[in-house]
């Protein structure tokens, strides 16, 4: 137990400051990813001339590993665009890019799932397109995208461990620094892993409460959620399969 | 700006180091294949544990899934590479070291087994109960029912979902470069240290991964659709 106290508890200030940086990066990246993802999705769906550019960007962000993107943004963008000028900025920009590609596709799925008749009805009562988007499309999309949004946030938290590679002083960086000082990795790395697992677990637990239930669906669409009901009973039913 | 653009478009440095880089890409595929095999088998095991009749086994399966699904890949790779050998060494009272390859495969295999377990479980639970009862009433053993009735359907049902997971596993193989497995990203960093030209090399690496993953995902998706249609129709 002495080791745990010396290597983990006594280092709590460093670990906590790392945790703060991790949270900052994740939150900023997530907010940016939502905005950029929504923009990419709208450009892809409604701006004809830029459609293929948007598809290319979305596919590029989705199909490159986060480590590659992180190093690319950190070392290539400053020469190319003169920005980002700090490692911290580069870290959240890379995380945001990766997630914006995924979120763009999520939003597109949500928008396409809305029955066409609703939009036509809104136009026929004389609502301008922006108002239709704000009042009719966006509320439904945000409901149906909520689980994927939370899921994407857990992906951001997991990927944020990699920003320690470009010397951003997040939780992972601090714990590796402690390893390099004491040369005793067992306790501190186990503790760090446990902290990350706990964070991601708590965030995904939020997902269960954010899954749109029947009430919010009825409030939103005015339809009984019979299909949703069937799904719920399906998962709570005890499985009759017993192999092990 | 235009000068940097010219630098980026300069592919000669890529051509110069083509053998090293291709060997790195092969290492990526090798780590991917081994980790995928490990993840699939562990995932099936955990899924079977999770639907077991015994509470203890069920909890073990749930614990496995919750730990590995929620753990970041990078910290698991680092943990397996630096902590696991020490723990095993203390148990065996000898000096024990893990080859970076082995630790990379173990870490990625375990992390992704958590995701695969959930996919397997969803697939198994989607098989109608009547089929299993029918199998039992014909006198088939549980194991035979699993192999002949359940798993063939599970594999087809979980294909689209598991293709996504294979793709993320392949993307995750890039982080093994951080524990000095000589994959493409590692080779690129080494060449950058020698040539001091990050612009074309990092951009090139990103484009190579982009091309490989894009082609692989479209090809796999098309192939799996054709296979599923042929069998379900």
Three-state secondary structure string covering A149-212: HHHHHHHHHHHHHHHHHHCCCCHHHHHHHHHHHHCCHHHHHHHHHHHHHHHHHHHHHHHHHHCC
Q: What is the pLDDT of residue B121?
A: 92
Within 175-204 of A, beta carbons closer than 8 Å to B belong to 176, 179, 185-186, 189-190, 192-193, 196-197, 200-201, 204
DSSP B181: -
> Residue A219 — pLDDT band, cuts 50, 70, 90?
low
Selecting from A161, A235, A244 the residue whose C-beta is nearest the C-beta of B74 gives A161
Under a CB-based contact definition with an 8 Å cutoff, are residues B150 and A242 in contact? no
Average of per-residue pLDDT values in chain A: 85
> Residue A87 — pLDDT band, cuts 50, 70, 90?
very high
Distances (CA, A) of B30 to A123, B27, B92, B174, B182: 55, 5, 30, 12, 11
> Residue A209 — pLDDT band, cuts 50, 70, 90?
low
Q: What's the whole-number mean pLDDT along residues B204-219?
A: 92
Within 217-236 of A, beta carbons closer than 8 Å to B belong to 234-235
Protein fold of B2-232: MetI-like fold (1.10.3720)
Contacts of B87 in chain A (CB under 8 A): 186
Selecting from A67, A190, A241 the residue whose C-beta is nearest the C-beta of B83 gives A190
Q: Is B48 close to A244, i.e. CB distance below 8 A? A: yes
Please determine, for residue A40, whether its predicted confidence score (pLDDT) is greater than 90.
Answer: yes
What ipTM was estimated for this complex? 0.90
Q: What is the pLDDT of residue A217?
A: 52
Q: Is A240 close to B133, i.e. CB distance below 8 A? A: yes
DSSP A76: T
CB pairs under 8 A between A and B: 139
Q: What's the whole-number mean pLDDT along residues A159-167?
A: 94
Distance CA B193, CA B218 (A): 35
Mind telling me how many Å the CA of B229 is from chain A's nearest CA?
23
Q: What's the whole-number mean pLDDT along residues A75-96?
A: 90
Q: What's the whole-number mean pLDDT along residues B183-211?
A: 90
Please determine, for residue B180, whether its predicted confidence score (pLDDT) is greater than 70.
Answer: yes
Domain assignments of chain A as residue spans, ordered by start: 2-236
- A165 CB near a chain B CB, below 8 Å? yes
Q: What is the pLDDT of residue B159?
A: 86
Superfamily, domain A2-236: MetI-like (1.10.3720.10)
Selecting from B1, B76, B124 the residue whose C-beta is nearest the C-beta of A241 gives B124
Q: What is the pLDDT of residue B165?
A: 92
Nearest to B202 by CA among A55, A152, A94, A155: A94
Backbone dihedral angles phi then psi of residue B72, each to the nearest 5 degrees: -65, 140
Query: Quick one: closest CA in B to A66, which residue?
Result: B171
Q: Is B177 close to A79, i.e. CB distance below 8 A? A: no
Q: Which residues contact A4 (CB under 8 A, 6 or more apart)?
A: A187, A191
Structure tokens at A225: 């959620």
> Residue A159 — pLDDT band, cuts 50, 70, 90?
very high
Structure tokens at A194: 């446990």
pLDDT per residue as tens digits for the range B26-75: 999 999 999 999 999 999 999 999 988 899 999 999 999 999 999 999 99
Q: Is A193 close to B129, i.e. CB distance below 8 A? A: no
Provide DSSP, B92-123.
Answer: HTS-----HHHHHHHHHHHHHHHHHHHHHHHH
Domain assignments of chain B as residue spans, ordered by start: 2-232
Query: Quick one: closest CA in B to A65, which residue?
Result: B171
Under a CB-based contact definition with an 8 Å cutoff, are residues B36 and B166 in contact? yes
């Amino acid at each position: 137990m002495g080791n745990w106290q010396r290597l983990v508890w006594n280092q709590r200030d460093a670990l906590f400051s790392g945790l703060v940086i991790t949270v900052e990066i994740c939150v900023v990246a997530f907010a940016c990813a939502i905005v950029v993802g929504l923009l990419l999705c709208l450009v892809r769906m409604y701006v004809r001339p830029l459609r293929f550019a948007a598809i290319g960007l979305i596919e590029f962000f989705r199909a490159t590993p986060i480590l590659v993107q992180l190093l690319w943004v950190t070392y290539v963008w400053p020469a190319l665009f003169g920005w980002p000028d700090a490692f911290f900025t580069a870290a959240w920009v890379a995380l945001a890019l990766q997630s914006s590609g995924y979120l763009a596709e999520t939003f597109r799925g949500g928008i396409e799932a809305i029955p066409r008749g609703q939009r036509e009805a809104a136009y026929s009562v004389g609502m301008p397109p922006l108002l239709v988007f704000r009042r009719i499309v966006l509320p439904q999309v945000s409901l149906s995208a909520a689980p994927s949004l939370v899921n994407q946030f857990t992906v951001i938290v997991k990927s944020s461990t990699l920003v320690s590679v470009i010397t951003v002083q997040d939780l992972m960086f601090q714990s590796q620094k402690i390893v390099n000082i004491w040369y005793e990795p067992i306790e501190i790395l186990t503790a760090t892993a446990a902290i990350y697992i706990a964070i991601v677990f708590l965030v995904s637990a939020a997902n269960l409460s954010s899954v749109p239930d029947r009430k919010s669906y009825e409030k939103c669409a005015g339809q009984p959620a019979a299909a949703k009901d069937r799904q719920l009973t399906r998962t709570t039913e005890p499985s009759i399969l017993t192999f092990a | 700006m235009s000068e940097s653009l010219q630098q980026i478009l300069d592919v000669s440095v890529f051509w110069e180091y083509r053998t090293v880089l291709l060997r790195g890409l092969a290492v990526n595929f090798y780590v991917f294949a081994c980790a995928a095999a490990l993840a699939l088998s562990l995932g099936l095991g955990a899924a079977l544990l999770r639907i077991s009749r015994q509470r203890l086994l069920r909890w073990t399966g749930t614990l496995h899934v919750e730990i590995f699904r929620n753990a970041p890949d990078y910290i698991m790779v680092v943990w397996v590479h630096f902590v696991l050998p020490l723990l095993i060494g203390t148990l065996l009272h000898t000096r024990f070291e893990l080859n970076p390859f082995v630790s990379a495969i173990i870490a990625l295999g375990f992390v992704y087994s958590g995701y695969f377990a959930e996919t397997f479980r969803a697939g198994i639970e989607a098989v109608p109960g009547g089929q299993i009862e029918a199998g039992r009433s014909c006198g088939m053993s549980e194991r035979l029912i699993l192999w002949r009735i359940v798993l063939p359907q599970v594999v087809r049902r979980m294909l689209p979902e598991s293709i996504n997971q294979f793709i993320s596993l392949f993307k995750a193989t890039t982080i093994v470069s951080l524990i000095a497995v000589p994959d493409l990203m590692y080779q690129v960093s080494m060449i950058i240290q020698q040539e001091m030209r990050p612009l074309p090399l990092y951009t090139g690496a990103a484009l190579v991964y982009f091309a490989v993953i894009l082609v692989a995902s479209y090809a796999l998706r098309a192939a799996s659709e054709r296979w599923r249609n042929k069998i379900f129709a």
